[in-house]
Amino acid sequence: MPIALSDAARRHVAIAQRVADAHRGIDDASLLSFVSGSTVDDLVDERSDVDMSVVFAVLPDEAVLRAACRGVGGDWSWTLGHFADGGAVVGFHADGVEVQIGYSTTARLSEDLDELLLRHNPDTPLHKLAEGILKARALAGAGQFAALQARVAAFPPELGLAMIRHGLATAMPWRIVPQLLQRDAGLWMRELQVDACYRLLLMLCGLNGRYFTRFQVKRQARLAMLLQRAPEQLAQRVDALLAAPHRHAFTRLHELEGEVLELLARYGPAVDLSGALLRRKHFPPQLD
């Protein structure tokens, strides 16, 4: 059931509804629209935009879409993608709030979701699309949206396994850490730490049956709270290790990685953890 929204979030929903309604009369039989992001999470602040989608069986001419948006705000200030490929993202302002619309054909949207639900791609920004659909609110085409949301809610175990395997595939090079600590390699060391944290989050989301992409992770603490099986104080520990001097950061990362591997061994699917466990032995605990 949708949560009760603050006045700021309701204002964003109202803007999104006006934008969706402005697209009626083009092809109402296939029109599907929904709003997601901070609006439906009730986390709207002065920096928040309205993140929404508009879907048609066949996208009309760009001029028709521009006219629809112009009726509730202004002309597009930017575009990303190509309508000829079945979809694009545009931005404009309505009532002083930036509105971002992801336009798509029905076929393109289905194909994008197939990449996750059928082909089990563990590393694509399309995870953000699926996550957004799960929490979105319908603005037009309620029946289509309910079916779409139900499809995305059925998180495939095969996708979770693929996410775990993908996280394990890129090794944390514990063997070279002592050497790096003696070099002028601060940027490289922080890169290793950041990448490792992203991989841990990816594997934990796979274990918990949640979509995840490292693309635009804006609400890290909220993500961590949604993971039923995860190390305690996960978000705080990630922040702490990335702010710590490198010697201490690697020690904290080693501890966090160990806890994640324990969770995978206890609750995860059958996957080979031996390589990751062996590499961990190259990190000398006396570094701390």
pLDDT tens by residue, the chain, 288 residues: 566 889 999 999 999 999 999 999 999 999 999 999 999 999 899 999 999 999 999 999 999 999 999 999 889 999 999 999 999 999 999 999 999 999 999 999 999 999 999 999 999 999 999 999 999 999 999 999 999 999 999 999 999 999 999 999 998 999 999 999 999 999 999 999 999 999 999 999 999 999 999 877 888 899 999 999 999 999 999 999 999 999 999 999 999 999 999 999 999 999 999 999 999 998 875 554
**Ranges in the chain annotated CATH 3.30.460.10:** 7-153
Residue listed under structure tokens 């595939």: 169
Residue 94: strand pairing partners: 97
Q: What is the pLDDT of residue 215?
A: 79
Give the DSSP letter string of 264-287. Answer: HHHHS-S---HHHHHHHTTS-GGG
Residue 10: C-alpha distances to residues 6, 50, 149, 198, 233 (Å): 6, 11, 21, 33, 32
Give the DSSP letter string of 194-252. Answer: HHHHHHHHHHHHHHHT----STT---HHHHHHT-SSS-TTHHHHHHHHHHS-HHHHHHH
Buried/exposed code over 82-94 (b: 16+ C-beta within 10 A; e: otherwise): ebeebbbebbbbb
Q: How far is CA 222 from the centre of its chain?
A: 12
Residue listed under structure tokens 């705080």: 236
How far is it, in rounded angstroms, from Cα 234 to Cα 220? Answer: 9
Q: Which CATH architecture has domain 157-287?
A: Up-down Bundle (1.20)
7-153 classified as CATH 3.30.460.10: yes
The pTM score is: 0.92
Q: Exposed, middle or buried by CB within 10 Å (0-12, 13-18, 19+), for 279? A: middle
Could you tell me which residues come within 8 angstroms of residue 233 by beta carbon, excluding any fewer than 6 positions away?
Answer: none
**Ranges in the chain annotated CATH 1.20.120:** 157-287
| CA proximity to 57, closest of 119, 7, 110 | 110
The angle that helices 246-267 and 234-243 make with each other, rounded to 10 degrees, is 150
Element (H, E) at 82: strand 78-82
Q: What is the pLDDT of residue 288?
A: 46
Q: What is the pLDDT of residue 171?
A: 87
Q: Is the dihedral of CA 275, 277, 278, 282 positive or negative?
A: positive
Q: What is the pLDDT of residue 282?
A: 87
Beta carbons of 30 and 57 less than 8 angstroms apart? yes
How far is it, in rounded angstroms, from Cα 201 to Cα 284? Answer: 24
Half-sphere exposure in the Cβ direction for 87 (13 Å, CA):
17
Beta carbons of 9 and 29 less than 8 angstroms apart? no
